[in-house]
Amino acid sequence: MALKATIFKTTMQISDLERQYYGTHELTVAQHPSETEARMMIRLLAFAVHADAELKFTRGLSSVEEPDLWQKSLSGELELWIDLGQPDVRRLRQASGKARRVVVVTYGGRAAEIWYQKNREELTRLKNLTVLNLAVQDQEALARLVNRNMEMQLTISDGQIWLTVNDATVEINREQWQG
């Protein structure tokens, strides 16, 4: 018998001072059976950092053809492709040709650093690619916040993210490696 996804309900209030974006999103997120809680929270964080009315979660881990999140224009053109982890460079080249902007949110500590250093030369050729990294301690802090029903408040300013889930608050510092 196949394992089923775990469903999470989230109300996300975003104050992004960097982009002047302020909004509330009611989200239902399915955690794939092979996905860790930290990775699911990183998906939610990626949504918040790039929030837009047209940004959508995709089938993600269930489909090799789709990123974790994407944003399409009203005419169906792919505006934003967001992948998590350490995707294959060929995949990123293809995404770079399909989408106006491509973002990779890496995590995993030393493994992420090795992935980026190994692929840096090829990645820097992709002019529409941004690579962001989350430190291990930030991943662990995100995983501790997981709850089936989450009330999230995010404030984004000067490269820092203050995230409150229910009554717990963490500060997330993302590093921009490229873009």
Residue 30: how many other CB atoms lie within 10 Å: 17
Q: What's the pLDDT at 159?
A: 86
- Amino acid present at 30: A
Q: What's the pLDDT at 162?
A: 96
Task: Give the C-alpha separation, 82 to 125, whole Å.
Answer: 18
Domains of the chain (ranges; CATH) run 6-14+36-178 (3.10.640.10)
Region 96-102: mean pLDDT is 97
Q: What's the pLDDT at 34?
A: 87
Q: What's the pLDDT at 60?
A: 65
Residue with tokens 């106006």: 100
List the alpha helices (DSSP H) in 50-172.
89-98, 110-124, 136-144
pLDDT for residue 62 is more than 80? no
Structure tokens at 87: 């995707």
pLDDT for residue 67 is more than 90? yes
Region 79-98: mean pLDDT is 96
What percentage of the chain has pLDDT greater than the value 90? Answer: 85
Cβ within 8 Å of residue 81, ≥6 positions away: 67, 70, 95, 98, 99, 101, 102, 103
pLDDT band at 126, cuts 50/70/90? Answer: very high
Q: What's the pLDDT at 33?
A: 87
Nearest to 8 by CA among 25, 31, 26, 24: 31
